[in-house]
Structure 1
């Protein structure tokens, strides 16, 4: 619940909850015969749950209400909260994301909208909250801290400390989004510290992002005032973050899968931990699920069901200061999920505010953010400098390896899509792509255009296709578009139904696999090959970046 909503919750509303809880007035809804999952006390117990005015009024027995749901022994848990997610990475608008995840029990998300903000500036965050308000899901946000992510990239917008301070005052914004420029934090970069200090003055959460940062550097990063990190990939890194006082966000997305590796730490029952998806594609959401899938993995891996549920309910709610979300308890929002069992986590019913969850059908308009590769694109040269190392692509992580020059098998082109007419080319290995070109306008975080594989002619054709679509995903072979998913919202999202978006994305993936691509989620993986704050090599329109050395390589 955002600050504006808190202000409108008057004493009269609470007085009715008191009357209903005491039996002086009937409730609106009664869930009878449930097994309540109480993560705060690590209990599962039988109780009826009484709801009034969208909130839980009481638990027990002998209640009366206008409507009754017979749970028949099913398990009633708090609605799931994803504490760190880039909705744009699903390729869906907030309404589409809600359509894909509400049936999976996700009732709330803390969106980190730096994708759309990198394209459109502060207007992108404002749009995300408006679109979230009509999505049918509770959508809060954090204020992007790194737009651009580093000095080595620039998308469609630049956001400084003054703009960040303004965003932190917007109702629905819960804190400062992930501080990705950790070299700037550790090195005392003045602009980075201006943003950090704006976050500190707000009194809200300061989200962290510290890949491969350990030892004294991690201590220094935590000492700067950051509160969390979602970049741990090993148990040792996870424990080190917890010992440093950072909340542990265990990420399991389409391009970075860390849950299996970090399960031993979660079995130790760290209280200051949560499960997040970060970046998850629409096809995976529909095929495998959202937070429900992560819960299945946790329980199968030995966690007590209540401990697992805490990771997606009361823990993220506590971290973000959502004091009336995350529990089945009196006075809390009746955001609830009825589950058949606590192993498969099959959702029988999702409630938001005490009513059956219904995703929104419309999305507010969003102007701008198309694709303009510049006048020189028609004759662009994509020669790779001989001395450049090769980006080793990994299908299950967003970090990359470093290969020797000459060891690549597919070219990568990254081109400025905001009309500045700049591009660069390097070699990659690990994708398996042997022909054709995969073209995307979703490239974290500046969101330029990226093209993997193919002849010069196919790369140019893929660029022209993206320009014609206003952004999207295409697979070109022999100069012809074989498959495409248009993304007209800032070149990042579609308002098509999730099933249709997944089908079109599946056609692109199938076409890429027919040409040898072995990446499980090729679009998502390629979309991270330009992110300048994730080691080890990344490509920008200005050249190949050695993230570890923090420098662009010479031609």
Structure 2
């Protein structure tokens, strides 16, 4: 039976205007859009929207659901209420812990959600050869996922972000083969190339062939407008990120507006979205409002035009990006309200607030007045529990940084965090050498904000671990720990003293992962039993537990609003300049391990 949305103020994302129309939907498809003066077809299913605003459903062009600390079914309950009808999801967090089994669980859950979740198969598991992760996804595994029958049961849109840009540019390893496998299967390849420019960029985009054919099609890691513009001019789509850890949108969009760039290849994404952000501020809707406000500030666009333009970046453009996959799998196009398009629709009451009243996916109402219209199925997560595998007890000795020279200070390579960014600065700082229990060593110095940071392999009980130094965490006492540590998700710990670090490490080892703050025998714990990354608890309880552990860390002296979000990226050895894995300190620019101490001359 036909559905009719009557008296709808349609957001036209192409000419950036609003038109009062009636929308006719049949079998999940927009079959006609009529002037309000035209006669409506017969239907018993007419919704008079009374001139509410009707937009194409919002699309997140790049997302890791795991960062919400909820699995897909739980995440979708809240995301869809904010008008998100489609997300391009890269499950490389769960894949780094549970490999193919983790990816399959994401695909299985995606089929049960009240929104469209399309999967990009992780391209870099492990992310680098400089870390131990829980699993490996090789070329044959990728081909297995990519080469499924091309019908509506196939949710795999392509290859997830290709983080190994050195491998693509210089031709080492199997990075190029993975991209070729996706291209051969007719699928899309997402990119990840922070700071890559010039001839290296052309090599990267073309998968090393330098023939001006765009094979790696997107990037969400640009940190400046000039970098984004170079990539756009080379043929890439750019996703402006407005996540919980990094908000490049604020830095880049104003300069893009000044440059008069064509916005047709610009999309919006969250990348990593914390549960607190989702619960309190929303999902893609919050990014649209932020982009809209920037357009209003930097241009002469009206509220109507600025809202339409911001919405186009989260509807029309990602719809074009994924168009080839939709055709390949016999799906209707998405991203605008037009005849022949899938009826993924978001309705809101006012332009300014974008207060959502209805959400439709494939022509069915899935949300009405902030309430889900159908119950979300349950899912068995039992095989993804008990993922922390460290057999030997961790002792204070595991955190000692010995020094064997003759000087009273030593020049050390130190990680420095930067606010609201994944990028870290590589510092070289003179550190005092102390004699403790008859041994020369380097200790944490909370007064100077120099703390020890450690990473332990938590997957294979190998005992592999490393110790470094970090500046910018700011705790004055005790230690914090987490099993959320992109992308390997090993156990990561920062502390002011070895005893606190050992105690919190053993607690996490015994409890099976999550986040914890420990100082003066006071411990605050946020359990994440699913892969050490997620919980199936309600979002309200997740947010409360998360807030408690963050508050405890602030009470220990950290000035960071979310020290655990910052901590989670300190092992991400594909983002410059310096990171730490269980194998050691990584100079990301040279893509090699370096010593903690700078060699004495």
TM-score by length of 2: 0.84
Match of 1:350 among 339, 346, 359: 359
Any stretches of 5+ residues in structure 1 without a counterpart? 1-25
Provide the residue aligned with 1:75 in structure 2. Answer: 53
- Give the structure 2 partner of residue 447 of structure 1: 489
Alignment partners' CA distance in 2, 1:388 and 1:367: 42
Question: Given the alignment of the two structures, is residue 289 of structure 1 paired with residue 330 of structure 2, yes or no?
Answer: no
Structure 2 SS opposite 1:377: coil
Corresponding residue for residue 382 of structure 1:
399
Partner of 2:454: 413
1:445 to partner: Cα distance: 0.6
Q: Give deviations 1:165-195, integer Å, cap 9, x for gaps.
A: 1121242100111110111111211322222
Give deviations 1:474-530, integer Å, cap 9, x for gaps.
Answer: 112234422x22111111111111111011101011111111212232222111100
Counterpart CA distance in 2 for 1:120 and 1:233 is 31
4+ aligned runs moved over 4 Å, structure 1: none
Question: 1:145 Cα shift?
Answer: 0.6
Structure 1 residue 374 displacement after superposition: 3.4
SS of aligned partner of 2:174: helix
Secondary structure in structure 2 of the residue aligned to 1:343: coil
Cα pair 1:118 1:155 within 8 Å, conserved: yes
**Residue 8 of structure 1 corresponds to which residue in structure 2?**
none
1:265 Cα shift? Answer: 5.2
Of the three residues 103, 109, 112, the one matched with 1:134 is: 112
CA distance in 2: counterparts of 1:38 and 1:56, whole angstroms:
14
Deviation at 1:241, TM superposition (A): 0.7
- Residue 372 of structure 1 pairs with residue 373 of structure 2: no
SS of the equivalent of 1:73 reads coil
Whole-angstrom CA distance in 2 between matches of 1:112 and 1:473? 23
Match of 1:336 in 2: 345
**Match among 315, 318, 321 for residue 319 of structure 1:** 321
1:109 pairs with 2:87: yes
Task: Give the secondary structure class of the aligned counterpart of 1:412.
Answer: strand
Query: What SS is found at the alignment partner of 1:327?
Result: coil
Other-structure match for 1:20? none
SS at match of 2:551: helix
Separation in structure 2 between the aligned mates of residue 281 and residue 300 of structure 1, nearest angstrom? 22
Q: Are 2:222 and 1:227 aligned?
A: no
Tell me: CA distance 1:343–1:298, structure 2 relative to 1, closer, same or farther (3 Å).
farther
Matched, 1:536 2:553: no
Displacement of 1:448 in angstroms is 0.4
- Whether 1:186 and 2:185 are equivalent positions in the alignment is no
Residue 381 of structure 1: SS of its match in structure 2? helix
Which deviates further from its counterpart, 82-91 or 461-470? 461-470
Please say if 1:100 is aligned against 2:95: no
Alignment of 1:7-406 (within 5 A): 27=2, 29-60=3-34, 61=36, 62-63=39-40, 64-170=42-148, 171-224=154-207, 225-264=215-254, 266-267=256-257, 268=260, 269-302=262-295, 304-321=306-323, 322=326, 323-353=332-362, 354-357=364-367, 358=372, 360-368=376-384, 370-378=387-395, 380-384=397-401, 386-405=410-429, 406=431
Residues 184-230 of structure 1 show CA distances to partners (whole Å, capped at 9, x for unaligned) of: 11121132222222122122111110011122211221122311111
Partner-residue secondary structure (3-state), 1:249 = strand
**What 5-or-longer segments of structure 2 have no aligned partner?**
149-153, 208-214, 297-305, 327-331, 403-409, 432-447, 597-601
Q: Please provide the CA RMSD for this pair.
A: 1.8
Aligned length: 528
Question: How much does 1:463 deviate?
Answer: 2.0
CA contact (8 A) 2:191 2:218 kept: yes
Contact kept? 2:289, 2:307, Cα under 8 Å: no
**2-side partners of 1:265 and 1:59: how far apart?**
37
- Rounded to whole Å, the distance in 1 between the matches of 2:382 and 2:129 is 27
Q: Which moved more, 1:239-248 or 1:384-393?
A: 384-393
* Structure 1 position 266, deviation (Å): 4.9
CA distance in 2: counterparts of 1:493 and 1:293, whole angstroms = 23
Structure 1 stretch displaced more, 397-406 or 263-272: 263-272
Task: Write out per-residue CA displacement over residues 362-420 of structure 1, whole angstroms, 9 at most, x where no aligned residue.
Answer: 23425146112331524542134654311111230001012223365222111110111
In terms of Rg, which structure is larger?
Answer: 2
- 1:355: how far off? 1.4
Moved more, 494-503 or 218-227: 218-227
